[in-house]
């Protein structure tokens, strides 16, 4: 009976994983297609339509760069669904995984910096004159790139790799999930960023509402409020599910909670939602640059 139960559980788990991979495949096709179109349009606007770069434009340009790196990786991740083992070599796998996670945490930090910049400009306009400039925005983005690149350098430890058996984007080693400091670092980056974005967005919305009541151009203030609110909702919807699942996955992997198989599948699906951020960022780009 133990043997029969074990084999049945293995077959069930395999079937669920196959279903999850199919769901991912179905979701990644439109994410890649729409992301490619929207980001191409955003790049075209940056090159041909923006005459004077502002702080907002600088942050958005870096956000588009992060998203473009993800779009470069997605076809290979889609190919990885069918390739077992990975056929392009472990070195290229490490590069792709590094770029893949660079997009997520680079996007989170750049988005946070953009919201803080708006907060300073709207809530503290007098201080803004001395601490806001495109050069300062570029310096902040450069610091983010250096920090994230340093952080993702640990991706080479994600797998127990050999040249004969590589599963790229999947099959992370157990040692990866035993490192509490790695998971806690990722969760801390997201949690602090989320708190900052919620706080700054709320203050901006309240300020714009008050401005709209006093200013005859209330329609413009209302439009700006909708943009800020849309960016806030996009951030929370895209990144919150993945980081909740990531924490649950860590707890399940280390036997703190059960239902490891289900949590693992939810983690993969929530990652699709996080990747959809590349479409939504580019879609909002035109309106953000125009309003701010």
CA distance 5 to 199: 51
Domains of the chain: 2-291 (1.20.1070.10)
The answer to whether 183 and 250 are in contact (CB under 8 A) is yes
The fraction of the chain above a pLDDT of 90, given in percent, is 36
Closest listed residue to residue 291, CA positions, set 233, 235, 223, 229: 223
Predicted local distance difference test score (pLDDT) of residue 13: 42
**Which ranges constitute the DSSP H helices of the chain?**
2-48, 55-80, 90-123, 125-131, 134-151, 174-177, 180-214, 218-253, 260-275, 277-291
Work out the average pLDDT over 7-22: 53
pLDDT tens sequence across 237-265: 999 999 999 999 889 888 788 877 888 88
In whole angstroms, give the CA distance from residue 218 to residue 210: 10
The whole model's pTM is what? Answer: 0.86
Q: Is the pLDDT of residue 292 over 80?
A: no
Task: Give the tokens for residue 212.
Answer: 């709209």
Residue 189, CA atoms < 13 Å, CB-side half-sphere = 22
Q: What angle do CA 189, 35, 144 make, to 5 degrees?
A: 30
Which residues have a Cβ under 8 Å from the Cβ of 178 and sit 6 or more positions away?
A: 253, 254
On whether the CB atoms of residues 104 and 274 are closer than 8 A, the answer is yes
Q: In this model, does residue 268 exceed pLDDT 80?
A: yes
Nearest to 230 by CA among 274, 284, 194: 284
pLDDT per position as a tens digit, 103-153: 889 999 999 999 999 999 999 988 988 899 999 999 999 999 999 888 776
Are residues 252 and 259 in contact, defined by beta-carbon separation less than 8 angstroms? yes
């Amino acid at each position: 009976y133990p043997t029969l139960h074990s084999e049945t559980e293995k077959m069930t788990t395999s079937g669920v994983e196959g279903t999850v991979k199919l769901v991912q495949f179905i979701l990644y096709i439109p994410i890649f297609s729409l992301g490619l179109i929207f980001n191409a349009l955003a790049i075209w606007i940056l090159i041909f339509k923006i005459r004077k770069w502002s702080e907002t434009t600088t942050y958005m340009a870096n956000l588009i760069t992060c998203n473009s790196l993800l779009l470069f990786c997605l076809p290979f991740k889609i190919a990885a669904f069918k390739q077992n083992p990975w056929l392009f070599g472990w070195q290229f796998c490490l590069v792709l995984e590094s770029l893949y996670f660079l997009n997520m945490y680079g996007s989170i930090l750049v988005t946070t910096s953009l919201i803080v910049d708006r907060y300073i400009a709207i809530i503290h306009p007098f201080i803004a004159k001395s601490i806001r400039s495109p050069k300062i925005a570029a310096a902040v983005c450069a610091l983010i790139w250096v920090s994230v690149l340093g952080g993702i350098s640990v991706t080479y430890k994600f797998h127990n790799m050999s040249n004969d058996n590589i599963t790229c984007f999947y099959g992370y080693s157990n040692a990866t999930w035993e490192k509490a400091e790695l998971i806690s670092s990722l969760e801390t980056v997201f949690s602090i960023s989320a708190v900052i974005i919620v706080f700054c967005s709320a203050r901006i919305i309240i300020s714009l509402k008050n401005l709209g009541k006093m200013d005859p151009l209330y329609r413009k203030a209302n439009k700006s409020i909708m943009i800020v609110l849309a960016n806030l909702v996009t951030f929370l919807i895209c990144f919150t599910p993945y980081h909740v699942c990531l924490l649950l996955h860590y707890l399940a992997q280390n036997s703190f909670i059960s239902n490891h198989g289900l949590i693992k599948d939810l983690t993969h699906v929530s990652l699709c939602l996080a990747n959809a951020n590349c479409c939504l960022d580019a879609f909002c780009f035109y309106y953000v640059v125009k309003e701010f």
